[in-house]
Structure 1
Amino acid sequence: MSADPQVPSARREELLELAYAYVLRNGMAAMSLRPLAEAVGSSPRVLLYLFGSKDGLVRALLGRSRTEELALLARVRAEGGGPAEVIEGLWGWLAAPQRRDLLRLWAEGYARSLVEPDGPWAGFAAQGVQDWIEVLGGVLGPKGDPTEVLATLRGALLDLLATGDVERTTVAVRRTLARM
């Protein structure tokens, strides 16, 4: 018998937060239940009970990552300002060194959802694009091109992860903003 993975419990939420911190540090590509369970002070059996399966745990972790992303997008909407200022603030948040683990997890989830479209990663990339296009469209207004801005941000983020060059990638983002 397993718990309903849709029904929140204090223990499930606690383990989800601990597991999320673990995958931010270690990634999910080679995640194994035994080392994860040991790192979060649990057992594989408890994780399977609470999340239904390893795929259920992966979906919950991606959902947790998405919650953080949506909170950022909500903050961007709430802060207001002109489009260039809002997007530059967004870039500053994303490019901050303390976000590297989150960005690596995003890149991993994005890529895996493209190559494993039927697995627990299903829809992660497409839903992320939809969320960002919606928010950027609201920031830019009817004359802006949210796809251009999103493509610039995503490309700059991947470049930043590959090289660590914040200065060069920030210049590229600012050049796009200057054309708006």
Structure 2
Amino acid sequence: MVSPLELFIVFFKIGLFMFGGGYGGIALLHKELVEINKWLSDEEFVEILGIAESTPGPVAINSATYIGYKLCGVLGSLTATLGVVLPAYLVILAIAAGLSKYLDTPLAKVLFRGINAAVVALIFIALLKVGQTVLIKNGVLDLISLAIGVIAFLIVYALNQHPIVAILTSAGLSLTLKFLFGI
């Protein structure tokens, strides 16, 4: 069983390097929780990610809260959430306390250029890992999931609709296909 302290340490590490918001941290979450610690399977990770994305609040915090609870109950939920939030809180506190004057320096701009490039790479890695888990079942491409994903993409990107519209439409479409056609 995982201890609350282990959860805090892992989620603190994730929070410390979670640049670019929750989506930039998905690859970090996957690496720590699925690959290194083996606390979750790929399928569980994707399921939790879907729940975290579909509920109010930041993905990283929602994920930490849910995963902490799943692995270690209420105390795990509290320690994982504190672990993922504390690094950002400390950084913002330091900036508010006087470091903000250094954010416009050439060195800071160069650092953030590199960090931003890494965030794009991490988001792409997360897309590949989650996409593989969702779209490939028993070594076969799941065309229904692919079609629903394409529709969700078009709703947000081409039709410029809110992501919630894509989530609700995708869920409704999936339910309709299941109940009307058994697929």
- TM-score band, normalised by shorter chain: 0.3 to 0.5
TM-score, normalised relative to structure 1: 0.36
Larger RCO (CA under 8 A, 6+ residues apart): 2
TM-score, normalised relative to structure 2: 0.35
Q: As a proportion of its length, which structure holds more helix?
A: 2
